Structure 1
Amino acid sequence: MFHLIRKYAGMPLLNRSRGLARQFLSQTSCADEVQRDLLMSRIARHADSQFGRDHHFHEIRTPADFRRRVPIRGYDAMEPYIDRVRQGDLGALFGSGTKVLMFAMTSGTTNRPKTIPVTQESLADYREGWTIWGILAFDAHPRILSRGLLPILQIASDWRESVTPSGIPCGAITGLTAHMQNPLIRLTYCMPAIASRIKDIESKYYVALRLSVFRNLGTTIAANPSTILAIARLGDREKATLIRDLADGTIDPKWDLPVEVREALRRKVGRKHKQAARRLEAIVNQTGRLLPKDYWPDLCFLANWTGGTMGAYLRNYPEYFGDRPVRDVGLIASEGRMTIPIEDGTPAGVLDIRHHYFEFIPEDQANHEAPETVEAHELIEGQRYFILPTTAGGLYRYQIHDLIRCVGFHGKAPVIEFLNKGAHFSSLTGEKLSEFQVVAAVGAAQRTLNLRLSSFLLLPSWGDPPHYNLLVEESDLVDRNTVEKLAAEVEAELQRLNLEYENKRSTLRLGPIRIRRIPAGSWSDFQKRRLARSGGTVEQYKQPHLMPDLGALETFRLSDAASTSLAD
């Protein structure tokens, strides 16, 4: 019955979604006009806000006027206006009639998380962007729609973590979208909206498996592939508990679930799935493991980030999922969606010209006090830029510090890929090492040595001379010979990728990389510490691979009494 409801209730939605996607792709042929019309409408709508009056919105007639009147700002410069909105003064940023539904919390540069206003308009933009992405991905994999819509596993976090003094909820926008979904469409999703309230990460991942492992899953959707891998690894580790819970219609009490969540889930998991349990047991007896490629044999594709530093995780996908295609979910942040990928196997996506106005700072002007910007249609293929969105959530010429590269065009809309956060650079002696280079170097070393590191992190240390430490879990590097080879390969590749790094090494102003092994489970602990400090959510979490913090090494427990480097 549920299958038929999903099938026939979903048909009008699919047709509307396809129409929306066609309209978006058609708009790319006149991206310059679409962008400018969008900017002018936003300016007119909020001209009477305090921000609009402070920046003379009534006098803005062109994008050039906009650039002259409104300076480029990061979050800290926007905070005074956002704080007034938090206190209930919506007119600080928005015109009359605007409703703020919540604040999306995300990691900030300080211990205090950023709070990004989510208005009715910005939420509609966010949901529409996902709709366009989704129908293009589903139509590229028609098997997922062959019987209505195969089940989807997607993790969401609580949209009501806290409230502002004026009573506006603060949390994750993913939780709000789950809360607002059509109840019939919601049946397609394995995780109920109430599961977003589970705070303990492993407990949430277990519930995700408990509600999906027996279903014929069509896709998994997460921002970070580390989330998908963590779920797969947990299922293998907890296979006995999972099989028992399926057979008994329970969720083991060892998992840390809020009382109201456990009670709601009790009704959902009460049915005993003995046949499914026997099938999983047979898989374990045959293979010795419990992996998604065996219990989700019809999985059509995986959906998550693939650009920037994500390749370190994607190399582990075949072990757990076999040969499944991966569709990038796009460059998305709490501030909004910036790209819509339209093909598998690439981090690049078409700029979301329909929902935000964008400007770009050429990379060589990043340190200028007043850099010149270009519009979307003016990008040059192969060049790198910092992206500046102007959104319906009250952000104008917003410096999000995302470095992107233009890889081509769809009509007049650029196709761009995320490279790294501009803040993820380290320079002990002028080497200007980027996280992008670190990930590329470690990736090349892993391929050469046939290694699969669960994760890694490069941290600087002062000394005579200063040097970098590459942290890896000891379970990933067992013998000393491999440790030494990894150090040599990463060192050589970094020198090839970064001429300044090579110069500083050859002149002995910078010492060789040292491999520092840390206990198994350290990355999970590191994630928990960072989330507790920043207030971010699990699905938004980005494992850093380079941090310029000289004190960060002291926060890790090292397995080795001595380090291993090329000099040892």
Structure 2
Amino acid sequence: MFLKSFAAKIFAKIVVSKIQKWAQNPVRTQQKVFETLIAEAKDTAFGKAHDFQNIESTTDFAEKVPVREYEDLKPYVDRVVAGEKDVLWPGNPIYFAKTSGTTSGAKYIPITKESMPHHVEAARNAILCYIHEKGDASFVDGKMIFLQGSPELSEQNGIKLGRLSGIVAHYVPKYLQKNRMPSWKTNCIPDWETKVDAIVQETKDENMTVISGIPSWVQMYFERLQEKTGKKVGELFKNFQLFIYGGVNYEPYRAKFEALIGRKVDSIELFPASEGFFAFQDKQDANGMLLLLDSGIFYEFIEAEHFFDKSPKRLTIGEVKVGVNYVMIVSTNAGLWAYNVGDTVQFTSTKPYRVVVSGRIKHFISAFGEHVIGKEVEQAMQEAIQQHGFAISEFTVAPQTNPNEGLPYHQWLIEFENEPESLQQIENTIDKAMQQQNAYYFDLIEGKILQPLQIKPLQRGSFTRYMKSQGKLGGQNKLPRLANDRKIAEKLLNLQK
């Protein structure tokens, strides 16, 4: 056993013990985080405007601080971007994580000296939990690849800005620098396809043990590796042991990945965002990710079903229930207050608190009142894949409200690896799974308001071409799993011509 892997096992034991302490005291842990946040920010411009001085409880906070989206917080962020201090959090942030906004252009999400360590520690601790559970740290002696955005940063009024993954790249521990791939030069290549080809060239002869990234982009890397070498990934990287991913559900990709790899490998799911690192998978056999309650983030939850009500009830961690779809609201030590991240989650456990990401509050289909969410379509797709044994590259779902004939329906646009013999059987399986999960959808089918869903197979490479056409190929960009309109669907269909 090498010294590095031996030390990792000892460190893993210490870290897991610390995690267990706060996980066993969730309400008290969150209360302490809440009190610290309010005390630290009471003299900021935001704190003064919202009377933080007189906030003594989470109920006071909910009364004084309304839920905000980025557009609502933007006037404060603009002041920070302009160089003003003590606006949302004491002093100035050390970074802005720049993301794409749908209605406000580029978003500038502040990262402070207090919040930055949690982004790094969470990813590290996810791996340490895995090491502790498996009792094996041999993979830390091999090469690790993190498919991410460019680490090159720009600067605005003395504050550095870039993509979150690029910012985090500057914090890879020294003891992993020699293991980390690709090279800095390759990581800075702006064109994603060129970058992937360069990564293939750099890694194909290395002892890769850990591979990390968003599944759809890692799939492209695997496919290019196979094209270049003629070997399956597992044959090429004999010691490849662990796949780390986040951003999207892995299950729809799993069959394709195992085919590309040639065997099964362990995986760890992460829930990172520019606004904070929220959760990671702490157990291989657990359903859901451990919600990080001691990382400078105070969580509130609103039932998704009532989110658009006039005054929806905001729940704290001790009030949530398993299986309910919640919109997650965060207040952080980066200066975000009652901020709607946009993600919806469901708790799979409350001892400890584990979550799965069920979708986006703005990404749903309810053209007919069906309230279909991302988790439901992914579960239905997973059941069909397991039952019929096919593999897909990607898929998205949109309502077809004005068909040429017959009743409206949900259109599933799927890029199959190999188109199955019977689309009808797959349509039947998926539709049945959707009806079982969603009572509204069941009623609409039974009531002859909707006809069963229809699949539209897409040409190979359609989703890649679509993302490229939108300037969102690679990095941390993700395709919406479903939409309440046909904007994405029509653009995909136009690419078939």
SS in 1 for 2:411: strand
Judged with a 3 Å threshold, the aligned counterparts in structure 2 of structure 1 residues 185 and 491 are, in CA distance, closer, same or farther, namely: closer
Judged with a 3 Å threshold, the aligned counterparts in structure 2 of structure 1 residues 105 and 63 are, in CA distance, closer, same or farther, namely: same
Amino acid at match of 1:453: I
2:313 matched to 1:377? no
2:22 matched to 1:27? yes
- Contact 2:463–2:492, Cα closer than 8 Å, also in 1: no
From 71, 81, 104, the equivalent of 2:97 is 104
SS in 2 for 1:416: strand
From 57, 62, 70, the equivalent of 1:75 is 70
From 363, 372, 377, the equivalent of 1:433 is 372
- Contact 1:387–1:400, Cα closer than 8 Å, also in 2: yes
In the TM superposition, residue 214 of structure 1 has moved relative to its aligned partner by 1.8
Corresponding residue of 1:467? 409
Corresponding residue of 1:451? 390
From 392, 414, 419, the equivalent of 1:477 is 419
SS in 1 for 2:399: strand
Query: Which whole-Å CA distance do the structure 2 matches of 1:71 and 1:88 have between them?
Result: 25
SS in 2 for 1:48: coil
Corresponding residue of 1:234? 224
Judged with a 3 Å threshold, the aligned counterparts in structure 2 of structure 1 residues 70 and 424 are, in CA distance, closer, same or farther, namely: same
Judged with a 3 Å threshold, the aligned counterparts in structure 2 of structure 1 residues 227 and 116 are, in CA distance, closer, same or farther, namely: same
In the TM superposition, residue 463 of structure 1 has moved relative to its aligned partner by 1.3
In the TM superposition, residue 558 of structure 1 has moved relative to its aligned partner by 5.5
Corresponding residue of 2:337? 396
Once the two structures are aligned, what percentage of the paired residues are identical? 20
Corresponding residue of 1:514? 454
Query: Which whole-Å CA distance do the structure 2 matches of 1:141 and 1:227 have between them?
Result: 27
Amino acid at match of 1:129: A
SS in 2 for 1:131: helix
Corresponding residue of 1:135? 128
Corresponding residue of 1:365? 306
- Contact 1:219–1:300, Cα closer than 8 Å, also in 2: yes
Judged with a 3 Å threshold, the aligned counterparts in structure 2 of structure 1 residues 339 and 474 are, in CA distance, closer, same or farther, namely: closer
SS in 2 for 1:121: coil
| Max Rg structure | 1
Which ranges of structure 2 fall in alignment gaps of 5 or more residues? none
From 525, 528, 545, the equivalent of 2:481 is 545
In the TM superposition, residue 187 of structure 1 has moved relative to its aligned partner by 0.7
TM norm structure 2: 0.90
Amino acid at match of 1:156: Q
SS in 2 for 1:238: helix
Corresponding residue of 2:184? 193
SS in 2 for 1:328: strand
In the TM superposition, residue 181 of structure 1 has moved relative to its aligned partner by 3.1
In the TM superposition, residue 553 of structure 1 has moved relative to its aligned partner by 2.8
Corresponding residue of 1:260? none
Query: Which whole-Å CA distance do the structure 2 matches of 1:359 and 1:523 have between them?
Result: 35
From 427, 438, 442, the equivalent of 2:381 is 442
Query: Which whole-Å CA distance do the structure 2 matches of 1:85 and 1:343 have between them?
Result: 39
Corresponding residue of 1:152? 144
Judged with a 3 Å threshold, the aligned counterparts in structure 2 of structure 1 residues 17 and 140 are, in CA distance, closer, same or farther, namely: closer
2:167 matched to 1:179? no
Query: Which whole-Å CA distance do the structure 2 matches of 1:449 and 1:338 have between them?
Result: 35
Which ranges of structure 1 fall in alignment gaps of 5 or more residues? 240-288, 562-568
From 198, 206, 212, the equivalent of 1:221 is 212
In the TM superposition, residue 556 of structure 1 has moved relative to its aligned partner by 2.2
Query: Which whole-Å CA distance do the structure 1 matches of 2:496 and 2:149 have between them?
Result: 37
SS in 2 for 1:374: coil
Query: Which whole-Å CA distance do the structure 2 matches of 1:66 and 1:297 have between them?
Result: 53
Amino acid at match of 1:116: I
TM norm structure 1: 0.80
Query: Which whole-Å CA distance do the structure 2 matches of 1:34 and 1:58 have between them?
Result: 21
Query: Which whole-Å CA distance do the structure 2 matches of 1:202 and 1:559 have between them?
Result: 19
Corresponding residue of 2:108? 115
In the TM superposition, residue 475 of structure 1 has moved relative to its aligned partner by 5.6
Query: Which whole-Å CA distance do the structure 1 matches of 2:29 and 2:432 have between them?
Result: 47
Query: Which whole-Å CA distance do the structure 1 matches of 2:464 and 2:153 have between them?
Result: 22
In the TM superposition, residue 474 of structure 1 has moved relative to its aligned partner by 6.6
Judged with a 3 Å threshold, the aligned counterparts in structure 2 of structure 1 residues 345 and 20 are, in CA distance, closer, same or farther, namely: closer
Judged with a 3 Å threshold, the aligned counterparts in structure 2 of structure 1 residues 428 and 372 are, in CA distance, closer, same or farther, namely: closer
Query: Which whole-Å CA distance do the structure 1 matches of 2:16 and 2:331 have between them?
Result: 22
Query: Which whole-Å CA distance do the structure 2 matches of 1:409 and 1:474 have between them?
Result: 37
Corresponding residue of 2:87? 92
SS in 1 for 2:339: coil
Query: Which whole-Å CA distance do the structure 2 matches of 1:27 and 1:444 have between them?
Result: 36
Judged with a 3 Å threshold, the aligned counterparts in structure 2 of structure 1 residues 125 and 362 are, in CA distance, closer, same or farther, namely: same
Query: Which whole-Å CA distance do the structure 2 matches of 1:443 and 1:340 have between them?
Result: 22
From 44, 47, 54, the equivalent of 2:49 is 54
In the TM superposition, residue 32 of structure 1 has moved relative to its aligned partner by 1.8
- Contact 1:312–1:443, Cα closer than 8 Å, also in 2: yes
Judged with a 3 Å threshold, the aligned counterparts in structure 2 of structure 1 residues 406 and 433 are, in CA distance, closer, same or farther, namely: closer
SS in 1 for 2:182: coil
- Contact 1:531–1:538, Cα closer than 8 Å, also in 2: no
From 239, 261, 276, the equivalent of 1:321 is 261
SS in 2 for 1:456: strand
Q: RMSD of the alignment, in Å?
A: 2.7
From 418, 432, 439, the equivalent of 1:499 is 439
Higher mean C-alpha deviation, range 468-477 or range 195-204 = 468-477
Query: Which whole-Å CA distance do the structure 2 matches of 1:443 and 1:50 have between them?
Result: 48
Query: Which whole-Å CA distance do the structure 1 matches of 2:159 and 2:128 have between them?
Result: 32
Q: Between Structure 1 and Structure 2, which shows a larger proportion of strand residues?
A: 2
Judged with a 3 Å threshold, the aligned counterparts in structure 2 of structure 1 residues 364 and 460 are, in CA distance, closer, same or farther, namely: closer
